[in-house]
Amino acid sequence: MALTACTTVGPNFERPAPPASAGFAMAGDPRAAGVTPSPDARPAGPWWRALGSPALDAVMGEALSGNRTVAAADASLRQAQALERAERGDRKPKVDASAGAERERINTQVFGIPGFPSPTINLYSVGGTVSYDLDVFGGGLRRVETAGAMAEAEAQRAAAAYLTLTSDVALQAIRIAGLRAQIATLQAIAADDQANIDIVRRAEAAGGEAAAASTSGKAQLAEDQALLPPFGQQLSQARHALALLVGKPPSAWTAPDFDMEGFAPPAHIPVSLPSALVRARPDILAAEADFHADTARIGVATADLYPDIRLFAGITQSALTPGSLFSYSSSGWNFGGALAAPIFNGGALRARRRAAEAQARASLARYQETVLAAFTQVADVLTALAHDDDRLDADARAEA
């Protein structure tokens, strides 16, 4: 056992260094530059409760328990965790038991004893074997490391699926509320159009000359009413999309009638430092875990270039009758070691190691791309919030 994992070949994984940037704003952008990231920018409790909508909270509960994408992500996580446990189990000694009973006729001719009868006997046996791979070059440890990193990647993908689901549910709920408000506004405008037409009709009945005004009013009513069906279709689509997120067909579930008044804008929007974002955002952590797994696979491929040493031992009890099966004279044993070393394989093993190295470089590039995409998304959101503030200020000045 002292030889176990004498060395672990292959590169050791090192987490990529976080970016040195202190913010997300593009150089020269004064609007987003006013946002100050915080190292402790994490919401307390479920983030959507900051919107203050009990109806949204109830729908979130249904979605988290019924969404199929989240269920698939959870199942993939359990699979990866089971595979990690299997790899860890392969690193332990293996113990097997065997038992048998057979009746056979012994051919004495094969022993060069002609003329003797071939006896028929009963043979009973029971025994066990123990084997252990010394893993001298650490290939087994690298396989465990690979499986652990893959399980971590699936855990982060499950967390990303959770965030994607909850954000999609909130967006559809707010979209429903916004569309209902727009439809209510259009219906109120159409009602005003109809009221104007009624006034013109009464004027006509009183002898006034308002034919042109009546025609114009009817045209305006028709124009405003024509705007309603597209908004109604968008509202239906938003409700159907929310039903899909909840995990139910539209015919079996009805979305709540969300109202804009039922949502409260959050008092504070937490913004993490870039160095904290790369250590907290699930898609970045999943890409990092993929890079870790591919780095460990280089060690697996490297260990395959070296000899493999396995120890084994066994004991067997064999007898012609069950009663004498466990007597001392019926016992047999063996122990030893086996070495298997690659001699010639046409360069396949070294090619696999080069392939593993290339895969690790690709994973690092994907990780870096994921970080850049995440920073871009945060910058887009911050500038959108800044420009929304500008628009609200302009609207307030216009109404003053």
List, in order of start, the domains of the chain with CATH numbers: 1-52+271-306+350-399 (no CATH), 55-263+312-341 (1.20.1600.10)
The answer to whether 96 touches 63, Cβ cutoff 8 Å, is no
Lowest mean pLDDT among 43-57, 127-141, 345-359: 43-57
Q: What is the pLDDT of residue 132?
A: 96
Does 2 or 170 have the greater pLDDT score?
A: 170
**pTM assigned to the model:** 0.85
CA distance 134 to 143: 14
SS3 298: helix
- Per-residue pLDDT band for 387 (boundaries 50, 70, 90) equals confident
CA distance 50 to 264: 8
Q: What is the pLDDT of residue 22?
A: 62
CA distance 157 to 150: 11
CA distance 338 to 76: 37
Tens digits of residue pLDDT in 264-281: 987 777 777 777 888 889
The answer to whether 49 touches 300, Cβ cutoff 8 Å, is no
The answer to whether 130 touches 94, Cβ cutoff 8 Å, is yes
Residues comprising the chain, all counted: 400
Closest residue by Cα to residue 276 from 163, 166, 375, 149: 375
Q: What is the pLDDT of residue 389?
A: 78
CA distances from 268 to 10, 34, 38, 43, 171 (A): 47, 14, 12, 9, 18
Mean of per-residue pLDDT scores for the chain: 88
Residue 337 exposure: Cα atoms within 13 Å on the Cβ side: 10
Identify the helix (H) or strand (E) that includes residue 326: none
Give mean pLDDT, residues 76-98.
96
- Residue 350 main-chain phi, psi, to 5 deg: -70, -35
Give mean pLDDT, residues 41-65.
88
Closest residue by Cα to residue 118 from 107, 130, 104, 133: 107
Question: Residue 367: is its pLDDT beyond 60?
Answer: yes
Identity at 319, one-letter amino acid code: A
Question: Residue 103: is its pLDDT beyond 60?
Answer: yes
Q: What is the pLDDT of residue 7?
A: 84
Residue for token pair 């019926």: 330
